[in-house]
Amino acid sequence: MRTTQTRRVLVTGSASGLGREAALQLARRGDHLIVADRDVNGGLDTARRIEAAGGRAEFRELDLADLSRLRAFADDELARGLPLDVLINNAGLLPPLERATTRDGFELGFGVAYLGHYALTGLLLPALRRASLPRVVAVSSLSHGAAKLDFDDLQFERHYVSSTAYANSKLCCLLFAQELQRRADAAGAKLASVAAHPGVAATPIAAGWQRENRRTLWSRFELIGYNMSIRLFGTTAAEGAKPLVHAATAPDIVGGAYYGPTRMMQTRGAPGRVKPNAKALDAAVAAQLWAASARLSGVEFDF
């Protein structure tokens, strides 16, 4: 039987990296973790680690690159009839050098890190609203300031640059967090929507980039820049997960706010409220992105 002390927390992309570390830290606080990832072996390993340490966890396979499977995942969760207290939209990737797409034809970075999470949140909204104080955490990145959002080419069909595609997906996550809070407030819904970022953390997210054959000067520069930032400013995945956990647990969080490391230009340090790039503060752009997301995914939010 569910007690008032135990929250159900779903973390996407929790088979490794930031998601795994966030799940482990939340489990140590007493939360019941839903480990959600397309990597079955990694996800099961995360759940086993939590249980071996005395925590509570279950693994559920989730593929954010396939809207039909995502809907099936959400249907299964809703059928359980349980409250979902916290949803951490963490899963992401560094888009490959050559443009790739999801099963539904969306540019891979946008489709997985942003649009899949938009759809998942909307589909799980009934479960979130069963909770007394539901919270949604969108995971962004310092790179959101480098985004170049073009609503005439959201899918990078005309001019694709992998690093810009990544930055755009993370700006979209931040815009989404704020727009979700505005819409929840307008509907009188008791839902807190916030965004968080890990600073500069060494995780497996760049494994694909490290294996690619980068022949052009710009593509090599992208990889060199990433590796240098990790060497100069990088912390561990466990440290990088702390702002996500803070955003998911702190009693004094502010809906629509942004949380991350508070030292060395937000690259490391204790988690707290931080300032996003001005690009993330345009409510009109956020509303336009929301409308485009509803059209592309076919998911409406039932407030």
Residues noted as catalytic = 166
Q: Tokens for 58?
A: 């279950």
Q: Is 154 strand, coil or helix? A: coil
The per-residue b/e assignment along 228-244, b for 16 or more CB within 10 angstroms, e otherwise, is: eeeeebbbebebbbbbb
CA angle 163, 86, 206 (to 5 degrees): 25
3-state secondary structure of 22: helix
**DSSP SS3 for 153:** coil
The angle at the Cα of 275, spanning 90 to 35, to the nearest 5 degrees, equals: 10
Residue 117, phi then psi, degrees to nearest 5: -75, -35
Given a contact cutoff of 8 angstroms between Cβ atoms, the answer to whether 46 and 53 are in contact is: no
Rounded-to-integer distance, Cα 148 and Cα 156, Å: 11
